[in-house]
Amino acid sequence: MQTKYLYINTIGCQMNVYDSEKIAVVLQPLGYELTPSVDTADLIIVNTCAIRGKAEQKAFSFLGRMAKLKRKRPGLIIGMGGCVAQQEGRKILERMPFVDLVFGTHVISRLPEMVTRIEQKRCHLVDKTVYPGINEYDSITGAGSNGCDNYCTYCVVPYVRGRETSRQPEFILSEILELIGTGVRDVTLLGQNVNSYGQKEGLCSFAGLLEKVNALKGLGRLRFTTSHPKDLSEDLMLAFRDLDKLCRHIHLPVQSGANTVLKRMNRKYTRETYLEKIEKLRQICPEIAITSDFIAGFPGETEAEFLETLDLIKTVEYDSLFAFVYSDRPNAPAAHFGDKISETEKKARLQVLLDLQEELTHKKNRSMVGSIQAVLVEGLSRKQPGHMESGKGPIVQWSGRTEGNKIVNFNCADDRETAVPAVEAGYLVDVKIKRALSHSLWGEPVGAKTETADLKGDKSYAA
Ligand code: 5AD
Ligand code: SF4
């Protein structure tokens, strides 16, 4: 079969990263191999994100650039998948007629058929499913769960990803086992609201699922994201204490520190119940890293409400956080709320929030200096991939993550004769933290862990 090249541009969350991997897999039988360059591609797919206005603009500006390529090479096939495709459907073709294929979030298994039809007839195709009752993820792509039933008033997810559906534990376990067989050691269970896993379907609890995954032989690290504070059960808190492979890190988006705003957001918890849960979690697992998401300038947010958010950040002392200016999303009720905050004010609030966290992150990082952290090596550091030092073997700078998901860079002599063993991606290395930078840590390896021998060829993977 003739080899053809596929370029995928993935925008958005880990669910999209996951979907993109599946897109590549389902198109393999048609002869498509991944290429890192649009110039060599026969098929270009942009996997889009609709969560905030900015992500959507990014997708359209990428496609705009691809239009130029298509004028030069009319045989090029251009496809758009993901949440914007699901949201806009046929309208995309009116706006961007050079696009050949628009496919929603639940039809990845049908891509080979759609691409074949385009290859043969060069027709435009739109495949936008209205959420079928069945979960395509069971058999084909696979995630912990998908979709969301929470209807936060700012959020587009329930409209583009549909109702929350959880996969049967057997599917998840067998997929992870398969991944372990290919050398994967670090697995992340994904879902927009992953910790309400199984409740609707009457499957096992999410803590029960983690216990089953934790028991799989050969697995190094287990993570999950994203959790809704209202669904953070005591069982799940205890899992951080009891499950040896579960990384002690939780991403627990709070969005705002003001009860009045939380109510308007339909978040279904209060500042007090959120703080109680954080306190309990830290009692059970004192070393847990906690991160969060915030929205600055939600409609009607007063200065006083914003100050309550800053106060919550100081109270919790997050390890790090993501913060965004509020943007109107199609179908999301908040788009019709009054008292919108000006762009200038939203950006100013975002900056104040980020500056505050920067200080706190730096403080947290400084408190780690002197500690020894188990670092799962991800690869060569991007900033300084390697240099030679005269008289010694080449020194290379590696980059990896702690259990709490902090980036640690360290130098390692790539010389098997030195006391420090050479490392590779997938090794778990004990690193003594020497310096705290604002966004990362710097350390020196003090020895590779014994398990590293069987961790060769690891890559992290989301399931
Ligand atoms: N505007 C700004 N931020 C948003 N998020 C979700 N929807 C919006 C929106 N309309 C943020 C939330 C969520 C994260 C994934 O994106 O903080 O947790
Ligand atoms: Fe969106 Fe709220 Fe569901 Fe998260 S919990 S995906 S913010 S609706």
Task: Read off the pTM.
Answer: 0.88
Number of separate domains in the chain: 3
Looking up tokens 């004028």 gives: 71
Q: What is the pLDDT of residue 449?
A: 53
C-alpha span between 419 and 308 (Å, rounded): 52
Q: What is the pLDDT of residue 287?
A: 93
Q: How far is the CA of 7 from the centre of ligand 1 (A)?
A: 28
Q: For ligand 1, is residue 298 a contact (CB within 6 Å)?
A: no
322 CA: nearest ligand 1 atom? 17
Say if 345 falls within a structural domain.
no
Residue type, 202: G
* Cα dist from 303 to 45, 179, 261, 354, whole Å: 43, 49, 12, 16
Residue type, 20: S
Q: For ligand 2, is residue 50 a contact (CB within 6 Å)?
A: no
Query: What pLDDT digit, counting tens, does each position of 320-341 carry?
Result: 999 999 999 999 999 999 999 9
| Cα torsion angle, 325, 328, 331, 334, sign | positive
Q: Do both 147 and 109 map to the same domain?
A: no
Q: Do both 95 and 152 map to the same domain?
A: no
Q: Do both 381 and 310 map to the same domain?
A: no
Residues facing 460 on adjacent strands: 186
Residue type, 5: Y
Q: For ligand 1, is residue 53 a contact (CB within 6 Å)?
A: no
Q: For a ligand 2 pocket test, name from 14, 148, 329 the mutation site with the most ligand atoms within 8 angstroms of its C-beta.
A: 148
**Token pair in block for residue 116:** 């074949």
CB 433 within 8 A of CB 392: no
User: How many CB atoms are located within 10 Å of the residue 451 CB?
Assistant: 12
Tell me which residue has its CA closest to atom 2 in ligand 2. Answer: 152
Q: For ligand 2, is residue 147 a contact (CB within 6 Å)?
A: no
Report the CATH number at residue 43. Answer: 3.40.50.12160
Q: Do both 161 and 295 map to the same domain?
A: yes
192 CA: nearest ligand 2 atom? 6
**Token pair in block for residue 39:** 């110039």
Query: What pLDDT digit, counting tens, does each position of 114-126 carry?
Result: 999 999 887 777 7
Q: Do both 89 and 157 map to the same domain?
A: no
| CB burial readout 26-48, b (16+ within 10 A) else e | bbeebebeebeeeeebbbbbbbb
Q: What is the pLDDT of residue 58?
A: 96
Q: How far is the CA of 291 from the centre of ligand 1 (A)?
A: 15
161 CA: nearest ligand 2 atom? 6
Q: What mean pLDDT value characterizes the chain?
A: 87
Pick the last residue of a domain from 106, 127, 148.
127
Q: For ligand 2, is residue 153 a contact (CB within 6 Å)?
A: no
Tell me which residue has its CA closest to atom 7 in ligand 1. Answer: 155
Pick the last residue of a domain from 104, 127, 150.
127
CA nearest neighbour of 87 among 65, 109, 102, 68: 102
Shortest-distance ligand to the CA of residue 331: 1
Say if 200 falls within a structural domain.
yes
Pick the last residue of a domain from 127, 154, 186.
127
Confidence at 422, pLDDT banded by 50, 70, 90: low
Q: For a ligand 2 pocket test, name from 14, 105, 150 the mutation site with the most ligand atoms within 8 angstroms of its C-beta.
A: 150
Query: What pLDDT digit, counting tens, does each position of 173-208 carry?
Result: 998 998 888 888 888 999 999 999 999 899 999 999
Q: How far is the CA of 454 from the centre of ligand 1 (A)?
A: 39
Report the CATH number at residue 402. Answer: 2.40.50
Q: How large is the average pLDDT for residues 30-46?
A: 97
Confidence at 102, pLDDT banded by 50, 70, 90: very high
Say if 340 falls within a structural domain.
no
Say if 352 falls within a structural domain.
no
Q: Do both 270 and 175 map to the same domain?
A: yes
Q: What percent of the chain has pLDDT over 90?
A: 68
C-alpha span between 340 and 234 (Å, rounded): 38
Q: For ligand 1, is residue 462 a contact (CB within 6 Å)?
A: no
C-alpha span between 367 and 319 (Å, rounded): 11
Q: For ligand 2, is residue 107 a contact (CB within 6 Å)?
A: no
332 CA: nearest ligand 1 atom? 10
CA nearest neighbour of 15 among 61, 83, 69, 67: 83
Say if 400 falls within a structural domain.
yes
Q: Do both 122 and 198 map to the same domain?
A: no
Q: What is the pLDDT of residue 452?
A: 37
Say if 363 falls within a structural domain.
no
Say if 78 falls within a structural domain.
yes
149 CA: nearest ligand 2 atom? 3
User: Which structural domain, as residue segments, surrounds residue 326?
Assistant: 139-330
Beta strands in 105-180 (DSSP E): 125-127, 145-146, 165-166
Residue 447 has pLDDT above 80, yes or no: no
Phi, psi of 297 (to 5 degrees): 80, 40
**Token pair in block for residue 10:** 């993935």
Q: Do both 195 and 101 map to the same domain?
A: no
Q: Do both 253 and 112 map to the same domain?
A: no
Say if 343 falls within a structural domain.
no
Q: For ligand 2, is residue 51 a contact (CB within 6 Å)?
A: no
Q: How large is the average pLDDT for residues 380-385?
A: 66
Q: Do both 147 and 242 map to the same domain?
A: yes
* Cα dist from 461 to 21, 115, 243, 292, 426, whole Å: 10, 26, 19, 22, 12
Q: Do both 114 and 14 map to the same domain?
A: yes
Query: What pLDDT digit, counting tens, does each position of 88-98 carry?
Result: 988 898 899 99
Shortest-distance ligand to the CA of residue 192: 2
Q: Which residue has the higher pLDDT, 380 or 366?
A: 366
Residue 133 has pLDDT above 70, yes or no: no
Q: For a ligand 2 pocket test, name from 155, 199, 232, 326 the mutation site with the most ligand atoms within 8 angstroms of its C-beta.
A: 155
Report the CATH number at residue 242. Answer: 3.80.30.20
Q: Do both 72 and 193 map to the same domain?
A: no
